[in-house]
Amino acid sequence: LSVLNMLSGAIIHAEKSLTSSGNILASGTIATRGTLSGAALTVMNGTSYLMGNVGIGTATTAARLEITDSTNWSGGIHSNLRLTGTNFPALRFYATSPNKTSTINNDGAGGLSFYTNGTGDAAGSLRMGIEQDGDVVIGQSLSVATTALTVYGAAGAADFTTIKSDDVLKLA
């Protein structure tokens, strides 16, 4: 079959392969029963979904999403997953029943914030933060950290413990 200009019809069947030196545009559903491969796959507009497991960098997946990459990022850390956002990129954990959300996000200054007990799309309450300098705050906003570890109890600012970077914490 050789088409020089345009082909229109309900079905094109290729016994072995279907190739194009240009673009193939499909309106509707594209179903594959084998491997879809090529230089790049771009999905534009609308909602896209995959049924089954998805592997990035691997053909053998053991989870719904498995990312395998041995490329070193800065400091020898392997860059398996990168979340990018204009303001506060976040990783959201959502339980559909009972409609609860927990979130870990970049605080916009290089630290991490941990939120729990959110409802729906709401992040919830800030429970813990790690500031960009490594200080840890539990129970309050990040801006109150003045030592390596600051823990606020239920009574708020009147009931807290601070630990300096050279202190040793021992739990009984």
Amino acid at residue number 6: M
What letters, b where the CB count within 10 A reaches 16 and e where it falls short, cover 107-141?
Answer: beeebbbbbeebeeeebeebebbbbeeebbbbbbe
Rounded CA-CA distance 102/87 in Å is 18
Residues pairing with 120 in the sheet = none
Q: What is the pLDDT of residue 9?
A: 62
Residue with tokens 């919830």: 124
Work out the pLDDT band at 163, boundaries 50, 70, 90: low
pLDDT higher than threshold 50 for residue 156: no
pLDDT per position as a tens digit, 61-70: 888 888 887 7
Q: What is the pLDDT of residue 142?
A: 66
Which tokens go with 34? 């084998």
Which tokens go with 28? 């509707």
Contact yes or no for 147/134 (Cβ under 8 A):
no
Rounded CA-CA distance 165/75 in Å is 23
